[in-house]
Amino acid sequence: MTNDERTHDRRRLRQFLDGEARAAGIGRRRLLGLLAAAGAAAAVGGPLAPRAVAAAGIVKPLPEEHFAIRGTNAETRFAALRGTGYHTPNELFFVRNHTTTPRLDADSWRLRVWGSGLAGGEVEFDLAALRALPAVEHSAFVECAGNGRSFYASQQGETVSGTAWTLGAIGVARWRGARLRDVLRLAGVTRHAVDVQPRGLDAEVFGSDGASMGHVRRPLPVAKALDDVLLAYEMNGEPLPPDHGHPVRVLVPSWVGISSVKWVGDIEVSAEPLYSPWNTDLYRLFGPAHPPEGSAPLTRQTLKSAFELPWEAPLAAGREQLLTGRSWSGAGGVRAVEVSTDGGTRWRPARLHDTPRRDGWTRWSLDWTPTAPGRVELLARATDVTGATQPERAVFNQQGYLFDAVVRHPVTVT
């Protein structure tokens, strides 16, 4: 194998780890080939080892008890959220990076707003200009569209591409910043504008055959951009941390995480529809249940529930356990949660600790005294304010987005 080929294979393996398998056109069989080509050393301890990649790419500490490392990404362990309160502490918040966290200087940072949807030319903002605008605080989740993806394989026997998240690619924070609406108005947005496309200052992303996909960017319809979108510079009362977009990120409440572009450097305002890999090949639904060109670009997140318990948690028989968890929906607040401790035969309502909160989650709990030792599957099923309830099975799509089915969480009664 030539050096070039090896570099190419490593890059493609890295893309797979980054969750870009479909963009890179890597199937399962090809992945196995790539793993073999990269060599056992790379797979277990070399430069491609997930921990080494993440250590190089994510700034904050990633203790084993708080995070599972997945390629360039770090998934929050749900068990670590127990007792942490409503908002996810910044140090526990999951990180999803297409490449690596850039170190940007807030003083020299500028936001350029430009494009055919403006009345005049390009307008530039610095951080002081954003801070001078009315500040808005919005409590909202950021959740990856692929959160829960691993359950397509483990529960439904379906092969999908992308980062094999369990349920921890979500966090809820208090975001504070300027309204995108105010910035667009100041920049002279016209009634001809249709799409608004923020772009990140992190490194370019490489797609199939090593071709650049450019910087992370995804068009947002102007109606959403003028509604509740923020240019956030604070997260839970602190300046935005490096991994979450310092100094400024876009925050698009209730929508798939990719919309909330981190490290935003410019925003194109366009009188024509815009396209990027992140609203064409990626972040649409492909598969037998969907049109050949894929679904419309994804917008709102779906309905999910998670227990704040380790996978295979040991629980003592004959002792009362307080089961806790969280449920959330992109369609509105969660108004009811039922829990089954017998694999799905009988369901009991959980106690809710939050009123239904749009763009947020509802914490819940339930007492349970396991009787006989053995393996038990715990299930939690949420209903949101629209009346939607989590189904038993999620509708397949090739990239494993928007998993919404009830997850079967195994515990071991001892």
Ligand X SMILES: Nc1nc2c(c(=O)[nH]1)N[C@H]1C(S)=C(S)[C@@H](COP(=O)(O)O)O[C@H]1N2
Which residues of the shown chain bind Mo ion in the complex (CB under 5 A)? 96, 144, 257-258
* Cβ atoms of 264 and 375 closer than 8 Å: no
By the rule CB under 6 A, 22 interacts with ligand X: no
Convert residues 309-348 into a mask of x (bound to ligand X by CB under 6 A) and - (unbound). Answer: ----------------------------------------
* 255-263, 288-296, 325-333, 334-342 -> range binding ligand X (CB under 6 A): 255-263
* 91-99, 289-297, 340-348, 356-364 -> range binding ligand X (CB under 6 A): 91-99
- Between 144 and 394, name the residue whose CB sits nearer to ligand X: 144
* Cβ atoms of 219 and 195 closer than 8 Å: yes
The encoded tokens of residue 226 equal: 């003028």
218 alpha carbon, distance to own chain's centre: 14
Total residues found in the chain within this entry: 414
- Between 102 and 221, name the residue whose CB sits nearer to ligand X: 102
The correct pick among 231, 261, 298, 413 for binding ligand X (CB under 6 A) is 261
Position closest to ligand X via CB = 200
The encoded tokens of residue 20 equal: 């870009």
Convert residues 186-205 into a mask of x (bound to ligand X by CB under 6 A) and - (unbound). Answer: --------------x-x---
By the rule CB under 6 A, 96 interacts with ligand X: yes
Q: How far is the CB of 136 from ligand X (least distance, A)?
A: 19
Neighbours of 296 (CB within 10 A): 11
* 44-52, 79-87, 93-101, 319-327 -> range binding ligand X (CB under 6 A): 93-101
- Report phi then psi at 60, rounded to 5: -75, 160
Three-state SS for 49-115 is: CHHHHHHHHCCCCCCCCCEEEECCEEEECHHHHCCCCCCCCHHHCCECCCCCCCCCCCCCCCEEEEC
Q: How far is the CB of 260 from ligand X (least distance, A)?
A: 5
216 binds, among Mo ion, ligand X, none (CB under 5 to 8 A by kind): ligand X
- Between 147 and 383, name the residue whose CB sits nearer to ligand X: 147
Give Cα separations from 84 to 137, 156, 174, 333, 355 (angstroms).
20, 32, 14, 20, 18
97 binds, among Mo ion, ligand X, none (CB under 5 to 8 A by kind): ligand X
- DSSP string across 122-174: -EEE-HHHHHHSPEEEEEEEEE-TTTTTHHHHHTT-----S----S-SEEEEE
By the rule CB under 6 A, 246 interacts with ligand X: no
- Between 69 and 144, name the residue whose CB sits nearer to Mo ion: 144
| Of 290, 375, 363, residue with least CA distance to 78 | 363
Q: How far is the CB of 151 from ligand X (least distance, A)?
A: 17
By the rule CB under 6 A, 70 interacts with ligand X: no
- Between 145 and 394, name the residue whose CB sits nearer to ligand X: 145
| Of 239, 282, 74, residue with least CA distance to 171 | 74
Name the region of 143 (left: φ>0; alpha: ψ -120 to 50; beta: rest): beta
Convert residues 381-400 into a mask of x (bound to ligand X by CB under 6 A) and - (unbound). Answer: --------------------
Q: How far is the CB of 71 from ligand X (least distance, A)?
A: 11
By the rule CB under 6 A, 298 interacts with ligand X: no
16 binds, among Mo ion, ligand X, none (CB under 5 to 8 A by kind): none
| Of 362, 330, 211, 176, residue with least CA distance to 259 | 330
- Between 15 and 341, name the residue whose CB sits nearer to Mo ion: 15
- Tell me the β-bridge partners of 384: 334
The encoded tokens of residue 175 equal: 């975001």
Q: How far is the CB of 360 from ligand X (least distance, A)?
A: 15
- Give residues in contact with ligand X (CB under 6 A): 93-98, 142, 144, 200, 202, 216, 244, 257-258, 260-263
